[in-house]
Structure 1
Amino acid sequence: MKDQEKEFGPSSWAIDNKTAIYALVVLLTILGLVSYNNLPKENFPDIAQAKVFVTTQFIGQSPQNIEILVTRQIEKKLKSLKGLKKVTSNSYDNISIITAEFNGNVKIKDAKDDVKEAVDKAKPDLPQNDNNLKESEISDINVADLPILYVNVSGNYDLKKLKEYADNLKDAIESMKEISKVDMVGALKPEIQINVDLNKMTAAQVSYDDITRAVGAENIIMSAGGLRVDGVRRSVDIRQDFKNADEVAAMVIRNPTGKAVYLRDIAEVEDGFHEQESYARMKTKEDSGFKKVITLNVSKRTGENLILASDKIFALIKEKQAKEFPKGLDVTVTGDQSDQTRTTVNDLVNTIIIGFLLVTIILMFFMGTTNALFVALSVPLSCFIAFLVMPAIGFTLNMIVLFSFLLALGIVVDDAIVVIENTHRIFDNGKVPIAKAAKMAAGEVFLPVFSGTMTTLAPFVPLAFWNSMIGKFMFFLPITLIITLLASLVVAYIFNPVFAVDFMKPHVKGEHDNPKFDKGIKKVLLWFAGIAVIAYLINFGVGNFVVFATVLFLLNHFVFVKWIDAFQNRAWPKMQTAYANLLEKAVHVPWWILGGTVGLFIFSIFFMMARSPKVEFFLRLILTLLLCTLLYQRGQIRLIPTRLQRY
Structure 2
Amino acid sequence: MLKTFIERPVLSTVISILLLLLGIISLTTLPITQFPDIAPPTVQVTASYPGANAEVVARSVATPIEEAVNGVEHMTYMTSNSSNDGSMTLNVYFSQGTDPDIAAVNVQNRVSKALSQIPQEAVQTGVSTQKVQNSIIMFVALASKDTTYNETFLQNYIKINLVPQLQRIPGVGQAQPFGTHDYSMRIWLKPDRLTAYNLSPQDVTSAIKDQSLEAAPGRLGESSKEVFEYVLKYKGKLNKVKDYENIIIKANSDGSMIRLQDVARVEFGSYTYSSNSVLNGGPTSGVAIFQTAGSNANDILTEAKKQLDEFSKTLPKGVETVIMYNSKDSLDSSIDQVKHTLIEAFILVFIVVFIFLQDFRSTLIPAIAVPVAIIGTFFFMSLFGFSINLLTLFALVLAIGIVVDDAIVVVEAVHAKMESTTLNAKDATIESMSEISGAIVSITLVMAAVFVPVGFMQGPAGVFYRQFAFTLAIAILISAVNALTLSPALSALFLKNPHAEEHKDGHEAKKGFAKRFFTAFNIAFTAMTDKYINSLKFLIKRKWVAVSG
| Shorter-chain TM-score above 0.5 | yes
Aligned residue among 271, 276, 290 for 1:274 = 271
Residue 207 of structure 2 is aligned to residue 211 of structure 1 = yes
Aligned residue among 302, 323, 327 for 1:333 = 323
Note the C-alpha offset of 1:487: 0.8
Partner of 1:291: 282
Q: Is the 8 A contact 2:75 2:92 kept in 1?
A: yes
Note the C-alpha offset of 1:567: 2.0
Structure 1 gap ranges (5+): 1-8, 225-237, 284-289, 519-556, 608-647
Residue 327 of structure 2 is aligned to residue 374 of structure 1 = no
Written as runs of structure 1 = structure 2, the 5 A alignment for 1:160-559 is 160-167=152-159, 168-186=161-179, 188-193=181-186, 208=204, 211-215=207-211, 218-219=213-214, 241-242=236-237, 244-245=239-240, 248=243, 271-283=268-280, 290-322=281-313, 324-326=314-316, 328-368=318-358, 369-428=360-419, 431-507=422-498
Choose 423-432 or 358-367, whichever is displaced more.
423-432
Note the C-alpha offset of 1:314: 1.0
The 1-side partners of 2:171 and 2:234 are apart by 33
The 1-side partners of 2:377 and 2:445 are apart by 17
Q: Is the 8 A contact 1:185 1:279 kept in 2?
A: no
Note the C-alpha offset of 1:27: 4.7
The 1-side partners of 2:257 and 2:487 are apart by 93
Q: Quick one: which amino acid aligns to residue 379 of structure 1? A: V
CA RMSD, 1 decimal: 5.7
Residue 139 of structure 2 is aligned to residue 150 of structure 1 = yes
Structure 2 gap ranges (5+): 220-232
Indicate how the Cα distance of structure 1 residues 16 and 376 shifts in structure 2: closer, same or farther if over 3 A, else same. same
Q: How many residues align?
A: 506
CA deviations 1:160-206 (Å, max 9, x no partner) are 5433541211110111121111111256211234678969x979xx9
The 1-side partners of 2:19 and 2:234 are apart by 58
Partner of 1:631: none
Partner of 2:227: none
The 2-side partners of 1:492 and 1:457 are apart by 16
The 1-side partners of 2:505 and 2:285 are apart by 73
Indicate how the Cα distance of structure 1 residues 409 and 110 shifts in structure 2: closer, same or farther if over 3 A, else same. same
Indicate how the Cα distance of structure 1 residues 303 and 80 shifts in structure 2: closer, same or farther if over 3 A, else same. closer
Indicate how the Cα distance of structure 1 residues 83 and 325 shifts in structure 2: closer, same or farther if over 3 A, else same. closer
Residue aligned with 1:377, SS: helix
Q: Is the 8 A contact 1:54 1:99 kept in 2?
A: yes
Indicate how the Cα distance of structure 1 residues 472 and 596 shifts in structure 2: closer, same or farther if over 3 A, else same. farther
Written as runs of structure 1 = structure 2, the 5 A alignment for 1:66-77 is none
Larger RCO, structures 1/2 (Cα 8 Å, 6+ apart): 2
The 2-side partners of 1:411 and 1:222 are apart by 78
TM-score relative to the length of structure 2:
0.72
The 2-side partners of 1:209 and 1:90 are apart by 27
Aligned-pair identity in percent equals 22
Partner of 2:518: 564
Indicate how the Cα distance of structure 1 residues 93 and 189 shifts in structure 2: closer, same or farther if over 3 A, else same. closer
TM-score relative to the length of structure 1:
0.62
Q: Quick one: which amino acid aligns to residue 275 of structure 2? A: S
Q: Is the 8 A contact 2:207 2:247 kept in 1?
A: no
Partner of 1:35: 26
CA deviations 1:431-464 (Å, max 9, x no partner) are 3232222222222211111111111221222211
Q: Is the 8 A contact 2:297 2:328 kept in 1?
A: yes
Note the C-alpha offset of 1:30: 4.3
Indicate how the Cα distance of structure 1 residues 139 and 582 shifts in structure 2: closer, same or farther if over 3 A, else same. farther
Residue aligned with 2:489, SS: helix
